């Protein structure tokens, strides 16, 4: 094995897997130079870290020659594709891709441009009549009315905004408009798919749309609206034996005229490319999400990149790019005040105003507080009181349905799964705090009141990654079972403990896992300043999970470090969509 690769692995810059990756490349291209192989390993590592490609401009490695020399050498390497030829890598300017990810990006750019350039045919007079039936015509309704009409005219729509800005309200009106327009034009109602990246997000979308339908859509339309959302993987026809291909694709598209996807910021470049190609070009595709939240766990920041291509600094559509007509940005929060509490803190974090964010946290308010760092297992820390107050009610509930409902009121959030202040540590800490007060008896891994978070989809059981349940006493002396909300959340489903797919205790969860969820109160335990995950997006996403109250646990320096550090994922998507 190449000495340089071994040194980079020993230094933690590359992973042990890269040893085998490079060996494979050497078999494919025996004449490849050491520098080309090192850059190939860096590219694979970049993808593993969430980037779509390796940006040679950002590459800081003292052992490598200047950038211009690297580009010149790559252009001559047998590892790099020339004129569309098949090779492991693709060099595009100063970006180096694994070929598969270059193809994902190219496919996605082509699909987005084609949809943006071909708006849906609309009878404007008929559209205006339908809008008049759905909207009151007041000044308060005007922004949503305009946004709804704008998205309706397009085959691609992107609705972005923070928590409480009316994304779900807008999409409910949009669905009502689709049905009303079809009815008025004598057409059958369109077949509509509601999708989300995870089972938890799909369940939340189903619940939210049901609530909004009851509030704001014409009663005669409610019955025709879709009743349930699905995961993207399930809708596309995930095949375990071939996980990178789906049943539905360009040759066999989804049988629908409208696809609405929630929590789009969580979708990586590979899945987004496969979703776009599975939606027939004449269908409408609408993406909802918060572009400022954490990006997907896998490679890419697709929603953020699409918005960045057309939104200027003020958040308005920029220039004559057809894609600008497809993007709606909602800015007014109906949940938070922008002048105080969670709303003011979120605004400061989003704007990159570190001093203001620290000041708001330190000054405190009924909605925001800053607690000192948690040192080891200190059960006298103020966080212990929050845990007791947050979890006592669900643990003292009389039945599993009440326990599940009460469990949704509070959550411990953190950045890491392992290590100091990670999920595993905080779960043990919460168990100790609750045990001392006699609320749980964790003598075995299975105990009454243990919350569990599903970590893998089980389609036969209809349990999905991200769903939370509770271990509770079953009826008729059947012992302990795992209980989860039923699909309408009006009842429960129960499973024997041996049936459960991969799962973990869920007193605490990572901020990534909390995306798509909301809680009345949140305790957000900050990692140290040197954490690679500490970022503006992490902090913003964490505090915006709270509806009423958030407590930050950590030091002012950690808040300042988070606000000052933005996650920037390398890709060519923004430039290609601008061009």
| Domain locations in the chain as residue ranges | 1-93, 107-334, 341-564
**Cα dihedral value 316, 163, 229, 300, nearest 10:** 60
Q: Do residues 469 and 483 make contact, with C-beta atoms less than 8 angstroms apart?
A: yes
Mean pLDDT estimate for the chain:
87
Identify the helix (H) or strand (E) that includes residue 157. Answer: strand 156-161
Average the pLDDT over each of 12-26, 331-345, 347-361 and give the range with the smallest value. 331-345
| Chosen CATH of 341-564 out of 3.80.30.20, 3.40.50.300, 2.60.40.10, 3.40.50.720 | 3.40.50.300
Separation of alpha carbons 289 and 266, rounded Å: 8
The mean pLDDT value for 477-486 works out to 86
pLDDT, tens digit, 9 for 90 and up, residues 86-138: 899 999 988 999 999 999 999 999 999 999 999 999 999 999 988 888 887 78
Instruction: Kindly tell me if the per-residue pLDDT of 84 is higher than 90.
Output: no
pLDDT of residue 1: 57
Angle, helices 34-48 vs 67-76, to 10°: value is 100
This prediction has a pTM of 0.86
CATH C-level class of 1-93: mainly alpha
Work out whether the CA dihedral 537, 539, 544, 545 comes out positive or negative: positive
107-334 is classed in which CATH architecture?
3-Layer(aba) Sandwich (3.40)
What does residue 54 show for φ and ψ, rounded to 5 degrees? Answer: -100, 120
The domains spanning 1-93 and 107-334 adopt the same CATH topology: no
């Amino acid at each position: 094995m190449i000495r340089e690769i071994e040194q980079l692995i020993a230094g933690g810059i590359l992973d042990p897997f890269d040893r085998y990756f490079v060996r494979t490349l050497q078999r494919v291209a025996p004449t490849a130079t050491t520098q080309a192989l090192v850059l190939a390993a860096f590219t694979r590592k970049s993808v593993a870290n969430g980037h779509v490609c390796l940006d040679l401009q950002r590459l800081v490695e003292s052992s490598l020659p200047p950038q211009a020399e690297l580009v010149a050498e790559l252009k001559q390497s047998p590892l790099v594709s020339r004129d569309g030829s098949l090779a492991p890598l693709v060099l595009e300017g100063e970006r180096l891709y694994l070929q598969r990810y270059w193809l994902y990006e190219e496919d996605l750019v082509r699909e987005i441009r084609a949809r943006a350039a071909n708006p849906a045919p609309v009878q404007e007079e008929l559209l205006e009549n339908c809008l008049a039936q759905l909207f009151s015509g007041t000044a308060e309704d005007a922004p949503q009315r305009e946004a709804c009409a704008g998205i309706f005219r397009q085959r691609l729509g992107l609705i972005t905004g923070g928590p409480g800005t009316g994304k779900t309200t807008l999409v409910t009106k949009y669905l009502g408009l689709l049905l009303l327009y079809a009815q008025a034009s004598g057409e059958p109602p369109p077949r509509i798919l509601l999708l989300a990246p995870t089972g938890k997000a799909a369940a939340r979308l189903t619940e939210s749309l049901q609530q909004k339908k009851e509030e704001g859509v014409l009663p005669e339309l409610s019955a025709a609206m879709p009743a349930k959302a699905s995961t993207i993987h399930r809708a596309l026809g995930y095949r375990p034996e071939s996980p990178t291909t789906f049943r539905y694709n360009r040759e066999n598209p989804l049988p629908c005229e409208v696809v609405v996807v929630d929590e789009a910021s969580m979708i990586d470049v590979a899945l987004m490319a496969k979703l776009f190609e599975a939606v027939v070009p004449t269908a409408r595709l609408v993406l909802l999400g918060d572009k400022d939240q954490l990006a997907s766990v896998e490679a890419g920041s697709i929603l953020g990149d699409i918005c960045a291509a057309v939104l200027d600094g003020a958040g308005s559509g920029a220039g004559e790019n057809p894609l600008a007509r497809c993007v709606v940005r909602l800015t007014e929060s109906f949940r938070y005040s922008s002048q105080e509490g969670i709303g003011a803190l979120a605004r400061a974090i989003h704007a990159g105003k570190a001093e203001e964010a620290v000041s708001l946290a330190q000054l405190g308010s009924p909605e925001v507080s800053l607690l000192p760092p948690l040192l080891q297992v200190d059960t006298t820390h103020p966080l212990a009181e929050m845990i007791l107050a947050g979890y006592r009610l669900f643990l003292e509930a009389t039945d599993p349905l009440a326990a599940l409902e009460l469990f949704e009121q509070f959550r411990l959030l953190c950045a890491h799964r392992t290590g100091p202040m990670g999920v595993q540590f905080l779960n043990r800490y919460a168990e100790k705090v609750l045990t001392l007060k006699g609320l749980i008896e964790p003598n075995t891994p299975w105990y009454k009141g243990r919350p569990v978070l599903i970590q893998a989809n089980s389609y036969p059981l209809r349990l999905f990654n991200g769903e939370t349940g509770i271990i509770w006493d079953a009826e008729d002396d059947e012992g302990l079972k795992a209980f989860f909300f039923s699909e309408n959340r009006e009842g429960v489903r129960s499973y024997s403990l041996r049936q459960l797919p991969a799962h973990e205790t869920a007193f605490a969860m990572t901020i990534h896992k909390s995306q798509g969820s909301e809680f009345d109160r949140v305790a957000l335990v900050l990692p140290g300043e040197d954490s690679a995950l500490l970022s503006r997006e992490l902090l913003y996403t964490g505090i915006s999970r709270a509806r009423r109250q958030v407590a930050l646990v950590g030091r002012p320096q950690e808040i300042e470090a988070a606000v000052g550090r933005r996650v920037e994922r390398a890709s060519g998507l923004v430039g290609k969509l601008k061009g």
